Structure 1
Amino acid sequence: MEKQEGRYLYFDIPKQERESAISFLLSALLKSRTACRLPSNQSEFDEDVNIYLAHLLFASSLPDYQTAVERYLSTNVSDMAELVEKNEDRIVRYFIYKVNADHLMVRLGIFQDLDQSGRPFGKTQKQFASMAQNYYQQAATYNRQIYRRSTAVGTVLEKLANGFGRYQTVLHFARKEFFHFSNQFQDESFQKFCEDIKHYEKEEMLHSTIDQFLDIYAEWLETRNEATHAKLLARAKELERLNPTFSFNRLEGNK
């Protein structure tokens, strides 16, 4: 990649920093797949995994992302189980499993700093990889439950669970390019990307809450149950918080 005044040329393209950075990382991954003889679509279509990993590597370079996920991360199985049990919301559980699987993927593939086999009761890289596979599978399961159908992201998570070792190898071959990229970019250039992520998360939460509201509303129309009516009002209040333009006429519970 060419440089100009110590920066990649693609950083000089107005308002295209994110797309250019991800494109660079995607290109690095494709080169790595060729180098380690694990080309795309070898055993199944997995170009979607390449895109997911490029986005993951990019996010891992952002301090804001690291700060956002830090309190949900743990390499201890017991701590993970406790964290999941404390959060009954399926969306939160999905997030916990996903970010921990992603964290292990990056640490094992890029940084390779999780081997604890020399410590008493320490885990090997193989054991960490097994944990990551399980977390990706759990995340895929929750993704399907949340959206009540297979999604593009859920499909990728299943592929990562089933082929974790293969993609770990691909990231290993991409280490040099990733560190070169990470050392060059200025995170100020990616403020818009962080804002886009927050907007996307808000939209996803809004759509999920709308689905829940409609389900409860349908149940209330059928039962006219006071408890259901209370849940309906609670979801309506949440929708009003997420979208101030939303309005809902309060209904009498016994009508």
Structure 2
Amino acid sequence: MTHPLSIQLYTLRDQMAADRDGTLTRLAGIGYRSVEPYDPTADPAGFRKIADDLGISVTSTHAYALFDKDAGEVFDAVATVGTDRAIIPGGIAHEEFTTLEGLQRTADLLNGFASKAAERGIRIGYHNHWWEIEPRFEDRTALEVLAGLLAPEVFLEVDTYWAAVGGADVPQLLRSLGDRVLALHVKDGPGVKDEPHTAVGKGVIDVPSILAAAPDAVRIVELDSCAGDVFDAVAESHAYLTALEGRS
């Protein structure tokens, strides 16, 4: 792997809100050299400055803001924070993933975002949860069907934990999606909904097999919630993944 291990900053949303610069400094001290913001429109220039000062790159950013802000403003912010990958992490009704018509509407929406983004040199991605995995269409997940409807430039960021919770054989799913997958959210926990997550390597997810199925995808640690100290958990996750994949 050539990409530095990243972390989705939503994991530390409370800490970021209270002390952004201090939180980023602490993550850099743990060893994270890359991050994924969850709202690029929140002081993008200030974010870029502290990231540059700390030697932190930006793998990609979530761009939920595309649903309620001017697209040009959002894409400018994406570029300012230092990436050309903007990912839609939600905002689409769960029911849209239960019918072929809904999947086509979803694809049309994402393809429309991608067309606008391309004018700014930015690529659009989509991030799944369990509700794109549970519906099946002749033994294919809704996410797989959606992938076949997306424009070639639209990529996927597969949340491996939620894919497992949704019932997927995650390594098989990743192999099925192939080169469409540019990034993985790597998380761990009890493998059920509505329970806190754990440090990666401390739960029930077969992380080594999952990562082996997508060797070129960017690894991004994310914990939606955490029962213990979140800084301890992200440090343990970094140590586990660093040892597992021989990272620096």
| Same-fold status (TM-score > 0.5) | no
- Structure with the greater alpha carbon radius of gyration: 1
TM bucket by the smaller chain? under 0.3
Q: TM-score, normalised by structure 1?
A: 0.26
Greater share of helix residues, 1 or 2? 1
